[in-house]
Amino acid sequence: MLGINRRMILETAKYYIIVALLLIPLPLAGDYVTHVAILVMLYTITAASLDILVGYTGRLSLGHAAFFAVGAYTSTLLAMNLGVSPWIGIFAGGIMASIFGLILGIPSLKLRGPYLAIATLGFGVVVWLMLINLDWLTRGPLGIPGIPPLPGIGPIDFRNKVSFYYVALLFTVISIFLLHLLTKSRAGRIFVAIREDEDAALSIGVDVPLFKVYAFLVATFFAGISGGLYAHYLRYISPEISTLSESIYMLSMTIIGGFGTLIGPVMGAIVLSLLQELLRSYLEYRYLIYGLLIVLVMRFFPKGIYGIIELLLEKAGGGK
């Protein structure tokens, strides 16, 4: 189904290895920079996973933070209540988020445009209400403190920011690599065909419902993975991570960075995470600023930051 060959894997892998090597020295800049870099990488995974839905399949989702939260709570509850290793819990969180993605994806198969957006918005609200009201399990609005950190490996203690940085870097590089392979495969081309003209894709024999559900499964799995990592890094979670504002924040990364490119959401995650740190004194205005940025980008640079860089490189190349 995927249509991925060995040559494609090797050609793609070398670029991600180079990126990883370039980022390795970053923790030398200090704890604060390391902390921001970790959050950037976790949001990078989430934004890139959302791009599979929004950018490649054309399925607008306003509830992606719900799947992030499902992954975070699943891994947390397994670790705290059942003693499951967080290393296992993180992947269990991804699987549970995929199950929730299936619950949403199947009933919404025939929905398009604003109707799908409203459905995902409603689903996000349902998850938020569950986290608030199931206080016997989730501690409700108080959240869950004291989440176990990732178990150390030998002398390596993952409570240390620098150690966790490399875990986040590894997960980010592998996640983006796998998503990139997916977009270059037959399934990725089918996603784009569905985005461009769903009826035309149906007319040539594409099993559109199957690939729509497949896109939901992939996107929600990686959102759940990043949520699990987030929980074991900050060691505190609350229902706030599943709110509409968080979903808009993730969607903003995808749109401002440039959807349908994968590298665009990575750029969007970097820019908005840094912007959030710079605007920490004006947090009440941050969503107003994000909204203005989205309007400006969609009006003047529909391909986002990635499109701007691509245009500049084209002009630079043409001038030589």
Q: Give the pLDDT confidence of 198-215 residue by residue, as tens digits.
A: 888 888 888 888 999 999
Whether the pLDDT of residue 125 is over 70: the answer is: yes
The pTM is what?
Answer: 0.89
Residues paired with residue 144 on neighbouring β-strands, in sequence order: 237
- Which pLDDT does position 44 carry in this prediction? 93
b vs e for 64-75, b when ≥16 Cβ sit within 10 Å of the residue's Cβ?
bbbbbbbbbbbb
pLDDT exceeds cutoff 90 at 299: no
pLDDT-based confidence at residue 313 (cuts at 50, 70, 90): confident
Partnered with residue 153 across adjacent β-strands are 156
CA-based nearest residue to 24, from 233, 169, 157: 169
Alpha carbon distance 266, 166 (integer Å):
17
Q: 19 pLDDT band (50/70/90 cuts)?
A: low
Over the range 258-275, which residues count as b (16 or more CB within 10 Å of their CB) and which as e? bbbbbbbbbbbbbbbbee
Token couple for 302: 């529909």
**74 vs 229: CA distance, rounded Å:** 11
What the block records as the tokens of 168 is: 């986040």
Q: Is the pLDDT of residue 319 over 60?
A: no
The residue type of 92 is A
CA distance between the termini of the chain: 42
pLDDT at 38 > cutoff 50: yes
- Please state, in angstroms and as integers, the Cα–Cα distance from residue 277 to each residue in 33, 118, 155, 270, 272, following that order: 11, 30, 32, 11, 9
Number of H helices and E strands in the chain, helices first, is: 14, 2
Confidence bin at 102 (pLDDT 50/70/90): very high
Q: Is it the case that residue 105 has pLDDT exceeding 60?
A: yes
What residue type is assigned to position 18 of the chain?
I
More confident: 228 or 280? 228
Nearest partner of 221 among 100, 84, 62, judged by Cα: 100
| Residue pointed to by tokens 């860089």 | 309
Q: pLDDT confidence of 32, banded at 50, 70, 90?
A: confident
| 28 close to 162: Cβ distance less than 8 angstroms | no
Q: Which residue has the higher pLDDT, 121 or 308?
A: 121
What is the Rg, in whole angstroms, of the alpha carbon atoms belonging to the chain?
19
Rounded mean pLDDT, 275-296? 79
pLDDT above 70 for 1: no
Tracing tokens 């709110």 back to the chain, one arrives at 243
The answer on pLDDT for 24 being more than 80 is: no
- What integer best gives the mean pLDDT of the chain? 86
Q: Does pLDDT of 312 surpass 70?
A: yes
Q: Is the pLDDT of residue 8 over 80?
A: no
